[in-house]
Structure 1
Amino acid sequence: MIIGIGGVSRSGKSTLANLLVTYFRKNGKKAIIFHQDDFVFPETQIPKIKNKTDWESPQSIDFEQYKEVIELFKTRFDVVIAEGLFAFYDDSINQLYDRKFHVKISKRTFLIRRAMDIRWGYEPTWFIDHVWLSFLKYGKPRKDLKGIVNVSGEDEFDMDKVIKSLDSPRIA
């Protein structure tokens, strides 16, 4: 099974991926997570916005390598979980997913969580707005993409709902 998890920055994608990999491993499955952030191009190849590296652009991700790794590891693991801001951007990768989860949070929650995240130091307000707008433009699942299960990242995940959706028939 290949699972895609998408959502805006700080929505809980990695948390959901970790909960799922733990669930599968406890149930005797070999499971692995791939984070889209591990497939970014070298910084010199990533577009800039106002002299700041635009990590929020799909042009920052090596989708070809990301897809190759997913396809390779689906032969070695029972469950492959691929998560990232642009999880639903590339159609050839969308076709690989057996299940798709979109982690939704409000803009207010995004702003609060992003303000608390100090990994990159001070981020100007315009850039934080850019992150949100880039998600709306490139990361939000298109309406024609079938089989998306929306889960709330506002509080704890409703894992009963998530697990139940894993048993439902695949929608391409």
Structure 2
Amino acid sequence: MVIGIGGPSRSGKSTLANLLVTYFRKNGKKAIIFHQDDFVFPETQIPKVRDKTDWESPASIDHELLLEVVTDFKHRFDVVIVEGFFAFFDPKLNSLYEKRLFIKISKRTFIIRKAMDSRWGYIPTWYIDHIWKSYLKLGKPSIIKSDYLIASGEDEFDMKKILGYLEK
């Protein structure tokens, strides 16, 4: 099974991916996660916005390499999980998913979590706004079909609901 997990920055995509891979491994499945952030181009090749690297651009991700890796690993693992801001952006990668999880959070929750995120140092307010606008424009699927489960990232995940969706 190939699972795609998408949603805005700081919504819990990595947390959910880790919970799922742990669950599947405890149940005897070979499971692996691919974080889209591990497939970014070198910073010099990424577009800029106001002289700041635009990590929220689809052009920041090597979609072809990610597709190649997922295609290879889906034959070697029982469960392959791909998580990222642009998890549903590339049609070829999106077509590999057998299950799609989209995590929603409010703009308020996003702003609070992003303001507490010190991994990259100070983030200007205008760039936080840019991240949210990029998510609205490019990060969410253009059409949420019935083959997506929408999960709330506001609090703890409803794992019973998520696992029920994945196991049917």
TM-score by length of 2: 0.98
Residue aligning to 1:60: 60
Residue aligning to 1:15: 15
Deviation at 1:21, TM superposition (A): 0.3
Q: State the identity %.
A: 68
CA distance in 2, matches of 1:60, 1:112: 25
CA distance in 2, matches of 1:35, 1:57: 16
Residue aligning to 2:126: 126
- Which residue identity does 1:82 align to in structure 2? V
Residue aligning to 1:109: 109
- Which residue identity does 2:157 align to in structure 1? F
**1:39 and 2:43 matched:** no
Residue aligning to 2:142: 142
Deviation at 1:65, TM superposition (A): 0.1
Q: Name the SS for the 1:155 alignment partner.
A: coil
Residue aligning to 2:160: 160
Q: Deviations over 1:20-46 (max 9, x none)?
A: 001100100000000000000111110
Q: Deviations over 1:107-145 (max 9, x none)?
A: 000000000001111111100000000011111111165
How many residue pairs are counted as aligned between the two chains?
168
Is there any run of 5+ residues in structure 1 with no aligned partner, and where? none
Please say which of residues 68-77 and 135-144 is displaced more in the overlay: 135-144
CA distance in 2, matches of 1:145, 1:61: 24
CA distance in 1, matches of 2:166, 2:48: 39
Q: Which runs of 4+ in 1 moved over 4 A?
A: none
Q: Deviations over 1:66-85 (max 9, x none)?
A: 00000111111100000000
Deviation at 1:167, TM superposition (A): 2.3
CA distance in 2, matches of 1:166, 1:144: 17
CA distance in 1, matches of 2:49, 2:145: 29
> RMSD in angstroms over aligned alpha carbons?
0.9
Q: Name the SS for the 2:28 alignment partner.
A: coil
CA distance in 2, matches of 1:26, 1:142: 35
Is there any run of 5+ residues in structure 2 with no aligned partner, and where? none
